[in-house]
Structure formats: structure tokens, C-alpha cells
Amino acid sequence: MDIENARRRLNAGPLRVQAHPATHAWLSGDRFGNVTTVGRRKIRVQMDRSGHIRTFRPENLEPVQD
């Protein structure tokens, strides 16, 4: 996922994502969440399982179709 694509999709409505399996969040069970903020280099995601807001690099996220 790239930053510009994430910004466009977030403006169109809620954006669901999945964390990459190599991330600590994925290994601890926080696999899915909603994008809350898109910065210049990082994307913040509120995770479903824990409710925490985690920061990811765009290459560590994949969009999910509901």
C-alpha cells in the first residue's frame, strides 16, 4: 500500500487493513484494523482486537475487502 493511495481511499470511506505477518502486531494477534491517520511516511491503524492505535510503514499493510 502506498501513502497516496491510502489517502484517496480513506477520503472515500473507512479503510480496513491487515498487518503483514512479519510485524509484531500480527504475531500478537492484532491482525486487522481501521486506518485512522495517514501521514507523510507512516499510517496509524486502530486495531480490532486490542483497540490500540499502532503505527505502521505502508509496506507492512494490505487493504482488506469486507
In Å, what is the CA distance from 31 to each residue of 4, 11, 50, 56?
A: 23, 23, 10, 12
Tens of pLDDT, residues 4-40: 777 777 776 688 999 999 999 999 999 999 999 988 8
Asked whether 63 and 2 are in contact (CB, 8 A), the reply is no
| pLDDT in the model for residue 66 | 65
Q: Which residue ranges make up each domain of the chain?
A: 3-58
